[in-house]
């Protein structure tokens, strides 16, 4: 499913009108005084209330990385995932780089000429670990995909381009070993959420620029694309209140870049929103909630791709905050969102 250019441009134009008017983002409800949750999708509020706030900083980074999963007010039963286990495998790094630990899920061992997905985890560039969610594993079994999730090096201990090198190594490993893995080299996608979406956009740009590996599709779920958000450009009023805040965003980007975000001289290839041209990039799914700090930058990236003639399915979810589908997976909007990007991915990787 791909949005038409008119649909994407309408969303962009409507976003600009909201910004000019200084009103609450489209689809959300202006919260009543004293109630910070009033603008949130009602089906997500109970789960959101259970998320404990934690400011991400150099002082508490270890605690942020070690935080336990949030308790769900409305848990979703885990789907039955038959047979194929998750496999841990070390793959070669790029020349001069260390090996990369990867997590692999083979949805159909022995199948030939099937699609593959490089799935990159989120965590603000400073946290998280390789992982492949249950919904994605179910889809991989249904479609026969191979999924590889790299354990890329985290910032600030490893600054850009260390993480890109690790992610590119995973992409290259799948491409170079496609015959052995049963993968069609024309059907390799990249994807991830939040910082994983940012890394996926970086990876798609690097693959285009190096000209070694064709990428069929990119799944950018509320991707972290622009270091200027909440640094040299103010955050849109009403966004970034939950989960990922302006302060967290500045810390995440500073950790990755090794310099203050939003300024001149960001390393080439590190900030997808600053790429000189998006021409030649693969089609994309881009999804974001109207309360997300990344709302404006994600819509702007969808616009840029669309203007370059690249197919985009832009999903704007009203009254949804950052990582809403993970925090409140039982909400109808979360379920519809997940079904939409999985459907897009299935179409992109179809024979």
Alpha helix ranges (H) inside the chain: 5-21, 42-49, 61-66, 134-143, 162-176, 178-181, 195-210, 246-257, 295-307, 324-327, 332-348
Tokens of 155: 């910032």
What domains are defined for the chain?
5-28+77-348 (3.40.50.1820)
Do 133 and 196 meet the contact criterion of CB atoms below 8 Å apart? no
The reported pLDDT for the residue numbered 33 is: 56
| Alpha carbons 8 and 55: distance in angstroms, whole number | 34
The reported pLDDT for the residue numbered 347 is: 98
Tokens of 330: 């039982």
Residue given tokens 């790029």 in the structure block? 94
End-to-end CA distance of the chain: 16
- In 3D space, the residue among 337, 342, 336, 321 whose CA is nearest the CA of residue 44 turns out to be 321
Rounded alpha-carbon distances, angstroms, from residue 205 to 173, 202, 225, 337: 18, 5, 12, 25
- In 3D space, the residue among 200, 198, 157 whose CA is nearest the CA of residue 293 turns out to be 198
Question: What burial class does residue 33 get, using C-beta atoms within 10 Å of its C-beta: 0-12 exposed, 13-18 middle, 19+ buried?
Answer: exposed
Do 312 and 2 meet the contact criterion of CB atoms below 8 Å apart? yes
Q: What is the 3-state secondary structure (H, E, C) of 264-283?
A: CCCCCCCCHHHCCCCCCCCC
Tokens of 70: 């949030």
| Alpha carbons 202 and 153: distance in angstroms, whole number | 15
The reported pLDDT for the residue numbered 30 is: 46
Helix (H, G, I), strand (E, B) or coil at 26: coil
- In 3D space, the residue among 296, 220, 276, 206 whose CA is nearest the CA of residue 17 turns out to be 296
Helix (H, G, I), strand (E, B) or coil at 227: coil
Residue given tokens 């979360």 in the structure block? 334
CA 242 to chain centre: 17
Paired with 11 in beta bridges are none
| Alpha carbons 239 and 195: distance in angstroms, whole number | 17
The reported pLDDT for the residue numbered 83 is: 62
Rounded alpha-carbon distances, angstroms, from residue 322 to 189, 190, 317, 334: 23, 20, 11, 12
The reported pLDDT for the residue numbered 78 is: 81
Q: pLDDT 10s digit of each residue in the chain, 351 long?
A: 444 444 554 455 444 434 333 334 444 444 455 789 999 999 999 999 999 877 899 999 999 999 998 889 998 888 877 666 899 999 999 999 999 999 999 999 999 999 999 999 999 999 999 999 999 999 999 999 999 999 999 999 999 999 999 999 999 999 999 999 999 999 999 999 999 999 999 999 999 999 999 999 999 999 999 999 999 999 999 999 999 999 999 999 999 999 999 999 899 999 999 999 999 999 999 999 999 999 999 999 999 999 999 999 999 999 999 999 999 999 999 999 999 999 999 999 997
Tokens of 44: 């997500």
Strands 86-91 and 146-150 turn out to be: unpaired
- DSSP output for 286-335: EEEETTSTTHHHHHHHHHHHHHTT--EEEEEETT--TTHHHHSTTSHHHH
| Alpha carbons 243 and 53: distance in angstroms, whole number | 7
Question: What burial class does residue 225 get, using C-beta atoms within 10 Å of its C-beta: 0-12 exposed, 13-18 middle, 19+ buried?
Answer: buried
The reported pLDDT for the residue numbered 80 is: 75
């Amino acid at each position: 499913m791909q949005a038409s250019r008119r649909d994407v441009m309408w969303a962009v134009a409507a976003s600009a009108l909201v910004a000019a008017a200084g009103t609450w983002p489209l689809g959300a409800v202006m919260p009543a005084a004293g109630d910070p949750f009033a603008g949130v999708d009602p089906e997500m509020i109970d789960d959101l209330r259970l998320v404990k706030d934690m400011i991400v900083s150099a002082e508490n980074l270890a605690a942020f990385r070690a935080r336990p999963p949030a308790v769900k007010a409305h848990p979703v039963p885990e789907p039955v995932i038959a047979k194929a286990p998750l496999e841990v495998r070390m793959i070669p790094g790029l020349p001069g780089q260390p090996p990369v630990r990867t997590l692999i899920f083979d949805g159909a061992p022995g199948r030939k000429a099937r699609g593959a997905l490089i799935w990159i985890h989120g965590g603000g560039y400073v946290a998280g670990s390789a992982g492949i969610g249950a919904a994605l594993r179910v889809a991989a079994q249904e479609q026969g995909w191979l999924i590889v999730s790299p354990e890329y090096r985290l910032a600030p201990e490893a600054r850009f381009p260390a993480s890109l090198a690790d992610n590119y190594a995973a992409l290259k490993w799948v491409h170079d070993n496609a015959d052995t893995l049963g993968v069609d080299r024309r059907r390799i996608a990249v994807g991830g959420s939040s910082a994983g979406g940012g890394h996926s956009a970086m990876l798609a740009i690097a693959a285009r620029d190096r000209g070694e590996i064709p990428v069929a599709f990119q799944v950018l779920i509320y991707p972290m694309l622009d270091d200027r958000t909440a640094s040299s450009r103010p955050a849109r009023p009403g966004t970034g209140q939950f989960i990922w805040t302006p302060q967290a965003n500045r810390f995440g980007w500073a950790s990755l870049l090794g310099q203050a975000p939003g300024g001149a001289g960001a390393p080439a290839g590190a900030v997808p929103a600053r790429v000189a041209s998006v021409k030649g990039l693969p089609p994309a799914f881009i999804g974001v909630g109207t309360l997300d700090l990344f709302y404006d930058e994600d819509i702007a990236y969808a616009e840029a791709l669309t203007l370059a003639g690249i197919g985009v399915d832009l999903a704007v979810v009203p009254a949804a905050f950052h990582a809403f589908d993970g925090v409140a997976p039982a909400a109808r909007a979360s379920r519809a969102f997940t079904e939409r990007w999985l459907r897009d991915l299935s179409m992109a990787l179809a024979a």
